[in-house]
């Protein structure tokens, strides 16, 4: 994660890093700040100098570990995340893709889905309930012609984070061979969701748009 202060004056930055169940993460995080080189769970307020950059990386973790972070700043900054795919044995880099941070108060959004059963390509996404109360999310997967493929209604606990492929989220089986082009609509009565999306085929990563409707 990279936090950029493009302003001409210092800005205060703090962050909380959460596990999938919404509790503070026990994973060691490393920063580029010489005075605060590591932290676990919460990064207390530090001063990011004018035109400065703060880089945060996760330490080694068990396979499948997924985290999310919430930042608080004293002025508007830019925050982005870089995902990397490595060989689990040799650590050789397969791919890298950047993803912008999400707004924390999304209520309705659309994610395009490109699926190819031959290459294994599918859209993966991460959804977070950023609020302090449970929130229900209703989701609909549609074909290019608008026909409904599947629907889902589930409740996210406060702080709960879910990283999943579309086929897993909607419980899809026996999908058509080859490529298909679909889209997913998500909506809630609670404006407290954050979301990012990726197109993933093996070790190849591609940033996918999340179109906010409300």
Options 2.60.290.11, 3.90.180.10, 3.40.50.150, 2.60.120.10; which CATH number does 108-212 get? 2.60.290.11
Per-residue pLDDT, 64: 74
Which residues fall within 8 angstroms of residue 8, CB to CB, at 6 or more apart? 50, 51
Per-residue pLDDT, 141: 98
Measured between alpha carbons, how far is 126 from 155 in angstroms, rounded to an integer? Answer: 15
Per-residue pLDDT, 146: 95
What is the 8-class DSSP label of residue 102?
P
Per-residue pLDDT, 211: 96
Distances (CA, A) of 129 to 3, 83, 164: 22, 21, 15
**Nearest to 114, CA basis, from 167, 189, 187, 69:** 167
Task: Report the Cα–Cα distance between both ends of the chain, in Å, rounded.
Answer: 26
Per-residue pLDDT, 202: 82
The ranges of the chain with pLDDT < 70 are: none
141-154 burial, b at 16+ Cβ within 10 Å, e below that, comes to bbeeeeeebbeeee
Domain spans of the chain, in order of start: 2-100, 108-212
Mean pLDDT of the chain: 94
């Amino acid at each position: 994660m990279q936090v950029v202060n493009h302003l001409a004056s210092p800005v205060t930055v703090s962050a909380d890093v959460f596990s999938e169940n919404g509790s503070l993460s026990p994973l060691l995080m490393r920063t580029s700040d010489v005075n605060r080189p590591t932290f676990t769970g919460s990064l207390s307020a530090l001063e990011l100098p004018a035109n400065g950059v703060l880089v945060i990386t996760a330490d080694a973790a068990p396979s499948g570990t997924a985290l999310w972070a919430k930042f608080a700043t004293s002025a508007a900054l830019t925050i982005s995340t870089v995902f990397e795919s490595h060989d689990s044995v040799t650590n050789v880099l397969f791919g890298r893709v950047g993803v912008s941070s999400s707004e924390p108060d999304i209520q309705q959004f659309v994610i395009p889905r490109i699926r190819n059963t031959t290459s294994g390509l599918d859209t993966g996404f991460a959804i977070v309930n950023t609020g302090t109360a449970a929130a229900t999310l209703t989701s609909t997967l549609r074909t290019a012609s608008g026909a409904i493929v599947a629907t889902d209604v589930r409740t996210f606990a406060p702080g709960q984070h879910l990283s999943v492929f579309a086929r897993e989220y909607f419980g899809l089986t026996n999908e058509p061979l080859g490529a298909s082009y679909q889209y997913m609509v998500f909506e809630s009565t609670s404006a407290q969701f954050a979301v990012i999306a990726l197109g993933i085929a093996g070790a190849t990563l591609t940033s996918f748009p999340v179109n906010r409707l409300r």
